[in-house]
Structure 1
Amino acid sequence: MIGIGIIGCGAITIYRHAPEFSSNPHSKITGYYNPDRQKAEILAGGYGGKVYACCQEMLEDPLVDAVCICTPNKYHAALSIAAMEAGKHVLCEKPIATTIEEGKSMIEASERTGKILMIAHDLKFEYAHKKAKEILLSGEMGRILSFRTAFGHGGPENWSTDKSMNSWFFKKENTGSGVMGDLGIHKAHLIEWLIEDPVEEVKAFSSSRDKKLENGDLVEVYDNSICLLRTKTGIIGTLTASWTYYGGLDKSTVIYCSNGTVEIYNHPEIPLILTKNTKEKICYNFDTQSRSGIADSFINSIINGTPPDIPGEEGLRALKVVIACTRAYEENKTAGVGS
């Protein structure tokens, strides 16, 4: 049984990691740490485990085999490195870190200690995305020519445990970014995985359009970004991230190929549609997906001693794209995706 310690007891822990780790037959939640102790106590009451007085107490506990880090972004690197150096495997929420240097340090710590570092980019586990990649790799749709991908909703204040507009999501010192580090980074990771072609250059427009602090000032980070991406082989596409899609969720991806179009979550009721240039249309529906797959994949890697499905290197690649998009907008130029 793999003992799991969870640092950070916000919405992602409440709705995903705690229930998924507690229901995995090979893991047990050993305990929790959160600055607001009451949040940790509520989870301990629901899923079992103890409440730690501090992170160090958790890292010194021999019953903890792995740590799940669900804190504001600025703490990801330091906590991940400390956990691996304490002999714990790490599942870290996205983004991997707030800077490229921090991300590299996390990967180096994993290599140095021999501990698993996995980043919680969950979209590649969704049935529609897995099937779409299978189809793209088969060659059935021909060459990939271009794409558009989006991730937008009404903002973190609508789903996080902190409903205040003073949430850490809106403070640059905590996030290092804004909507691109929250939603855009998921799509940066997804599109490179789907088309197996790294993004090399970007252009972007970003803005703080509507999110305001309690005092009425616009938030410090961007709530909307629209980016133009060019891959190594010359595929051009757009990536849009928004916290102001007040009418509902959009996480669509459309890939335009020489033999037709692949639409993922672009229809309200059909998750995957192929439209071929012969006018043939193929629709795919899938069983309801009750688990994200993140916890299960992480536990399997630990048990089997295999590399994680989403290693630190993939998380760092996605972060590099996000940072390049921010630089492209702020410096008004085409930006290369850094090494």
Structure 2
Amino acid sequence: MSKIKVAVFGCGAIAQRRHIPEYASNPDVELVAFADPVLERAQKMAEQYGGKAYASHEELLKTEKVDAVSVCTPNYLHAPMAIAAANAGAHVLVEKPMATTLEEAQQMIDAARSNNVYLMVGHNQRLMPPHVKAKELLDSGRLGKVLTFRTAFGHPGPEGWSVDGRGSWFFRKEEAAMGAMGDLGVHKSDFIRYLLNDEVAEVAGFVGTIHKEGTDVDDNATCLLRMKNGAIGTLTASWTQYRGGDNSTVLWCENGVMKIGTVNGDEVIVELRDGSVETYVVGAMATNEKQVPSGVIDAFVRSITTQTPPSISGEEGKKSLAVILAAFESQATGRMVKL
């Protein structure tokens, strides 16, 4: 079978560190084009990986016939670029949050459907080995029903990660729409939905800018979630964990507790009510410092080659986005928001 021709929109940090190298190491993929308004960035990628560089995605789509596109751009461009790619007949992998509004998310889903292409959202938390193992253990039923939980994601902020440092689009509301919640919180709303195999019913959120100077996007959020099946818990997202960043989840269940990534960040510990303790170390979590393969690219490519719709679909991405948007609504209104 011929290789999948892939283009990448946006050549910043996530493209350089995850999407592009992971495509390059996938035997089923040929990287054919890169688009970035900072043309030098696209040119650098083209020189390194082959293919052509473009200053705009429109020009790229006009010139190239591609099978699939990764959208790795500021949040406000996710929807228009994903829709343009779908309308050009390309499968789309979009970074999270998939869009800045639920209307945009639905337009993306509709565009993919009407053009008969796949839309996948880069919620890589589902694919991390410790999370896969945690889901398997939970689904086995040994822990019984999940009663309460906490899930968190925090690090020092995008200035150390983004190619533009403190001048990054992450800090500009008109481009990012949201801060730590769009960057980290949406990963956790997606993960808790996936892990519990349940939907969020109600959200209360405290969302604010506590410490990052000169930005109007949120740098911290703490949310209360009530799930449809009755479990209640917290979701936190932070850009101000300058020491001891967090990417952990704890579930208190009928028969014991499950702790994911609470010690070294990559282990699953099950402590049962009978006093027995099991520890599983199954593979690392991807972090900004440790770029282990995210699994997202391979999953996207596998969807295309096997003609199997991606499990992390546009519909899934939209549900995870809805939770985050509800937290902002709760902050603005001072009320609990029902989903």
TM-score (norm 1): 0.95
Q: Percent identity among equivalent residues?
A: 45
Aligned to 1:193: 194
CA RMSD of aligned residues (A): 1.2
Aligned to 1:175: 176
Instruction: Report the AA paired with residue 280 of structure 2.
Output: Y
Q: Partners in 1 of 2:207 and 2:190 — Cα distance? A: 19
Alignment check: 8 A CA contact 2:173 2:216 kept: yes
Q: Partners in 2 of 1:104 and 1:36 — Cα distance? A: 29
Aligned to 1:184: 185
Instruction: Report the AA paired with residue 251 of structure 2.
Output: I
| 1:169-215, Cα deviation, whole Å (9 max, x unpaired) | 111111221111110000000000000110010111122111013xx
SS class of match (1:205): strand
Aligned to 2:14: 12
Q: Partners in 2 of 1:269 and 1:332 — Cα distance? A: 34
Q: How much has 1:132 moved relative to structure 2?
A: 0.6
Aligned to 1:316: 318
Following superposition of structure 1 onto structure 2, how do residues 156-171 of structure 1 map, counting pairs within 5 Å? 156-164=158-166, 166-171=167-172
* 2:260 equivalent to 1:264: yes
Following superposition of structure 1 onto structure 2, how do residues 220-299 of structure 1 map, counting pairs within 5 Å? 220-268=216-264, 271-288=267-284, 290-299=292-301
SS class of match (2:175): helix
Q: Partners in 2 of 1:269 and 1:186 — Cα distance? A: 16
Q: How much has 1:264 moved relative to structure 2?
A: 0.5
| 1:130-188, Cα deviation, whole Å (9 max, x unpaired) | 11101111101111101000000000011110112x32111111122111111000000
Aligned to 1:103: 105
Listed as ranges, the gaps of 5+ residues in structure 1 are: 214-218
Q: How much has 1:309 moved relative to structure 2?
A: 2.2
SS class of match (2:165): coil
Q: How much has 1:22 moved relative to structure 2?
A: 0.6
SS class of match (1:110): helix
Listed as ranges, the gaps of 5+ residues in structure 2 are: 286-291
Q: Partners in 2 of 1:117 and 1:207 — Cα distance? A: 31
SS class of match (1:226): strand
Q: Partners in 2 of 1:311 and 1:61 — Cα distance? A: 28
SS class of match (1:245): coil
Alignment check: 8 A CA contact 2:128 2:284 kept: no
Paired residues, number:
331
Alignment check: 8 A CA contact 2:223 2:234 kept: yes
Alignment check: 8 A CA contact 2:130 2:284 kept: no
Following superposition of structure 1 onto structure 2, how do residues 35-184 of structure 1 map, counting pairs within 5 Å? 35-164=37-166, 166-184=167-185
- Quick check: 326-335 or 281-290, which moved more? 281-290
Q: Partners in 1 of 2:331 and 2:15 — Cα distance? A: 33
Instruction: Report the AA paired with residue 118 of structure 2.
Output: I
